[in-house]
Amino acid sequence: MREVPLTELQDWFSDKVRKQVEPPRKKTQKFIEKIQQALQDINTSCGNLSDVTTISERDELTSKSIENLAKKYQDRIVEIEPPDEPLLYEKVSKYSLSIKNLLEYLWQIGRRWIPKLSRASGQTYKTNIRELSYHTNALRNEWVNLENYMDKKLKKIKIFEDIFDQIQKLQELVNDMTKSKEEMKIVESELLNLKSKKEKIEREHQKLNETPLLSQRNQLESELSLIIQNLRGILGYFRKPFRKFEKFLQESNYFVRAGCTDELSKYINNPIETFFAEGDDYSNLKIVLTELKKAAPRIGLKVRDEKKLVKEIETIIDGSLVSFRESYKKAYMKFQENSRDLKEAGLLEKLEEIKTTIANTEKEIADIEQKFSRLNDNYERNLIKLRDLRNYIEQAIQSTTKEEIKINLD
């Protein structure tokens, strides 16, 4: 097995297949040269046709028509461009198709106008038309020769051209992957720097939280959170009965104390906020609960649920929530006092600044991680493409040259 570096593969393969590729291309070039000569001859004949303008030969209208016919031919011929080297099969095919389309166009125009103009023109015109027809037939014959040669010979080298294309794709893929790998290294470095930055900021945050004032603040926040959590559990029990009670009031003519309906709605939507907005005796809640207790037998509760509801209502009416309010007020006052002390010491502002920095850094990390993930996924996909493409090229080269090779990508 021969090992061929990818950087040398194009030249190596070109040398290997030169004898199979160059002769058909040279032969094809000769066909193209003959076609181009035929096009030039047609163009010259059109010029000769247009130059015969004496009134003795034809009238002015006929003269103008012949000039237009010649111009139509010449305008289409000038659009034809021979393929540049190397003469790849696809290029020659495209060129051949353009000749085919030209011949069809010339045939359609000629069939329509030449017989009409022949009847109204002199002998010189007819002679030039025969010359034009001769060169057009020559063009058709050379085009047929090219088509036949393409089908029998030139098509055989297309497999080599396909391999050259795949080699080019492999080189481009390797280049892209090299760039991707470098970009991944840069992104990975950015990610490490950001994580290091975050760890440093978090240490500052931890150190700041260990100061007496912030330790007290954290303790008070936990205390307030626990009070609210417990209160939410107690008031949350009434959510379903409150909704049933509200629906009952909407659908019946049952009368309750003034303001009860509004307070009921508030406790359904925002129970915690509504509770702390009340006075110390939470009289509005007691009114709602008292009316609910009266209506309990009529709102569709099960007997067991009704008994439990009445018991819970009586407990709250008897003042079970007073301690929650007192504990909350006491903790909240300490929290406000602590906030003032923190503000005077500049710690509160510094704490918010650190929190903002941590949040921004976390967002940057998430964005960079997402970018790295995309790059890595793309690299992995290209790695599979690389493997498959290299295998394909190695097998194709072995099939065409009978030589087993291994492509070195390093």
H-run or E-run covering 225: helix 212-236
| Residues 6+ away with beta carbon under 8 Å from 114 | 69, 129
| pLDDT score, position 299 | 85
Measure the CA–CA gap between 295 and 280, rounded to whole angstroms: 26
| pLDDT score, position 55 | 40
Q: 29-33, 148-152, 342-346 — which one is most confidently predicted on average? A: 29-33
| pLDDT score, position 57 | 47
Q: Which residue has the higher pLDDT, 256 or 109?
A: 256
- Average pLDDT of every residue of the chain: 89
Q: What is the pLDDT of residues 177-195, one digit of tens each?
A: 999 999 999 999 999 999 9
The predicted model scores a pTM of 0.61
Assess whether pLDDT exceeds 80 at residue 407.
Answer: yes
Q: What is the mean pLDDT of residues 290-315?
A: 89
Assess whether pLDDT exceeds 60 at residue 54.
Answer: no
Assess whether pLDDT exceeds 50 at residue 68.
Answer: yes
| pLDDT score, position 109 | 81
Assess whether pLDDT exceeds 60 at residue 209.
Answer: yes
Measure the CA–CA gap between 56 and 53, rounded to whole angstroms: 8
Question: Distances in Å between the alpha carbon of 71 and those of 45, 76, 79?
Answer: 11, 9, 13
Q: What is the mean pLDDT of residues 136-143?
A: 94
Assess whether pLDDT exceeds 70 at residue 117.
Answer: no
